[in-house]
């Protein structure tokens, strides 16, 4: 947790950290600083310098410390990026580092696509990493995610740092509800892929069932062990059914008495059921966590979550009527957007930087936010850093808090700090454990 008074530069720091680790030259060139360092727990450093010439043309220079003996610095200028983008048609819009979209067709484009289609060779920092292994080791996948205070607004200047899921689509204009639908589409996609994997396993098992049943003809199967295994399979099936993920009919009841032949066949049957359910378990664990957290917040107002047959996240009123996302409160929308994004859109292992997570949250929700975000981070192997003004968000965990101390503001009185970002260029160090 990063703490500082208004105007101290928390947003500035989070934005620079995300842009540096993503090697987002466009944001680095457009942000005021002179030198920015990201220091890792193992002692390595990523150093980014912003230089300007006599014509006020900016250049970004990146190096890693330590680095290979013959490894040069990585640099890109504003002029190079401008020349590259002038070769692109107006319907091609940048959505993030090394990512674009054709807004006419809603098709994502890579640097290779742009060079092949338009003869525009990407000269950005990410496109030059092959000759800079030390920098690549610090800035490789997964890319960091910066979630700013405009996270529900597609018009945010920092949408690109949300990654591929930060863009809007033709189905999703720039509104809070449509942005949330964009996040929940990732949930729907993950459920659809898990279901397809389950169907493939089922089809393969059906084709070989007879052969495997015959191969088990001489096996000795203990009835008590088999019954315990059956109960575990049923529990998994029921957990999946609760979240709309169950595939096929419920398992047949366990026989009141069995013969050796019945036990052998039932053992093969359970093998198939376990394999059929296996692809669904990871997405179910994340979906169950999301629903537990959200339902706990929605319950006092009589609302609850549900999963549609298509795998979408629905919201129901106390009477069971489906609610539009736009009917949720601002605080509810922020939680749905944030937690859905982190569980289903963020890549495992990502660094996530969140600016002012307390926005629109009820006081009780602020107190539970740290516990909630910790559960979500553990479920998706995320490292989360957030900046806050709220002592309620800290909730007594001052051991996790770092107070922002920049040289330019260390001696300022908190009452004298303005709401604006720092105007002077600064040298900034960030420790990334």
Q: Compute, in degrees rounded to 10, the torsion defined by CA atoms 400, 405, 410, 415.
A: -60
Q: Answer whether residue 373 is part of any domain.
A: yes
- The reply to whether 168 and 183 lie within a common domain is no
Strand order, beta sheet including 74-77: 74-77, 58-65, 45-52, 35-40, 427-432
H helix runs in 119-175, sequence order: 133-139
- The reply to whether 32 and 64 lie within a common domain is yes
Answer left, alpha or beta for residue 193, where phi above 0 means left and psi between -120 and 50 means alpha.
alpha
pTM, rounded to two decimals: 0.78
- The reply to whether 257 and 365 lie within a common domain is no
Q: Nearest to residue 196, comparing CAs of 283, 106, 287, 305?
A: 283
Question: What domain range includes position 198?
Answer: 175-327
- The reply to whether 146 and 210 lie within a common domain is no
Cβ–Cβ under 8 Å, residues 247 and 199: yes
User: In 3-state terms, what secondary structure has residue 133?
Assistant: helix
- The reply to whether 316 and 417 lie within a common domain is no
Q: Answer whether residue 371 is part of any domain.
A: yes
pLDDT in tens, the chain (433 residues): 888 777 778 888 899 999 999 888 888 988 889 999 999 989 999 999 999 887 778 899 999 998 887 788 888 888 888 888 788 888 998 777 667 888 888 888 887 788 788 877 766 677 778 888 899 889 877 889 999 887 776 444 444 445 444 444 434 444 566 778 777 888 899 999 999 999 999 888 888 888 888 888 888 889 999 999 999 999 999 999 999 898 666 778 898 888 998 898 889 889 988 999 999 999 999 999 999 999 999 999 999 999 998 888 999 999 999 999 888 998 999 899 899 989 998 889 999 999 999 988 989 999 999 999 999 999 999 999 999 988 899 988 999 988 876 555 444 444 443 444 444 444 445 555 5
- Looking at the structure of the chain, the number of domains it has is 2
Q: Answer whether residue 333 is part of any domain.
A: no
Q: Answer whether residue 32 is part of any domain.
A: yes
Q: Compute, in degrees rounded to 10, the torsion defined by CA atoms 342, 348, 349, 353.
A: -20
- The reply to whether 34 and 141 lie within a common domain is yes
Q: Answer whether residue 340 is part of any domain.
A: no
The contacts of residue 361 (CB under 8 Å, 6+ apart) are 331, 334, 335, 369
- Residue 267: count of CB within 10 angstroms of its CB: 19
Token readout for 264 is 């052998």
């Amino acid at each position: 947790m990063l703490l500082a008074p208004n105007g101290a530069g928390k947003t500035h720091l989070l934005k620079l950290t995300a842009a540096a680790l993503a090697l987002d030259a466009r944001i680095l060139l457009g942000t005021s600083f002179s030198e920015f360092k990201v220091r890792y727990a193992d002692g390595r450093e990523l150093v980014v310098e912003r230089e300007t010439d006599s014509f006020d043309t900016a250049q970004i220079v990146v190096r890693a410390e330590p680095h290979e003996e013959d490894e040069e610095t990585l640099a890109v200028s504003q002029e190079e990026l401008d020349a590259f983008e002038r070769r692109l048609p107006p319907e091609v819009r940048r959505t993030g580092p090394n990512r674009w979209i054709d807004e006419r067709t809603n098709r994502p484009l890579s640097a290779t696509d742009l060079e092949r289609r338009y003869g525009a060779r990407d000269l950005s920092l990410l496109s030059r990493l092959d000759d800079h292994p030390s920098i690549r080791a610090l800035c490789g996948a997964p890319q960091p995610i910066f979630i700013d205070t405009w996270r529900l607004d597609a018009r945010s200047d920092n949408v690109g740092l949300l990654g591929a899921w930060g863009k809007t689509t033709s189905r999703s204009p720039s509104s809070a509800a449509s942005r949330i639908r964009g996040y929940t589409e990732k949930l729907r996609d993950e459920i659809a892929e898990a279901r397809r994997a389950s169907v493939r396993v089922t089809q393969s098992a059906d084709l070989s069932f007879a052969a495997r049943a015959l191969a088990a003809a001489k096996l000795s199967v203990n009835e008590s062990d088999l019954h315990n295994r059956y109960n575990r399979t049923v529990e998994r099936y029921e957990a999946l059914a609760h979240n709309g993920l169950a595939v096929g009919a419920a398992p047949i009841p366990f026989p009141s008495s069995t013969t050796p032949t019945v036990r052998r066949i039932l053992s093969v049957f359970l093998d198939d059921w376990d394999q059929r359910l296996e692809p669904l378990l990871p997405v179910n664990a994340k979906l169950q966590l999301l629903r537990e957290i959200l339902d706990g917040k929605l319950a006092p107002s009589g609302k609850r979550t549900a999963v549609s047959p298509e795998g979408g996240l629905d919201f129901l009123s106390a009477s069971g009527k489906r609610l539009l996302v736009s009917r949720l409160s601002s605080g509810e929308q922020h939680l749905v957007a944030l937690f859905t994004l982190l569980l289903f859109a963020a890549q495992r292992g990502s660094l996530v930087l969140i600016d002012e997570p307390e926005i629109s949250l009820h006081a009780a929700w602020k107190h539970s936010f740290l516990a909630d975000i910790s559960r979500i981070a553990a479920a998706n192997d995320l490292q989360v850093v957030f900046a806050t003004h709220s002592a309620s968000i800290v909730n007594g965990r001052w051991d996790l808090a770092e107070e922002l101390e920049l040289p330019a503001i260390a001696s300022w009185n908190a009452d004298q700090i303005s709401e604006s970002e720092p105007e002077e260029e600064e040298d900034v160090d960030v420790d990334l454990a």
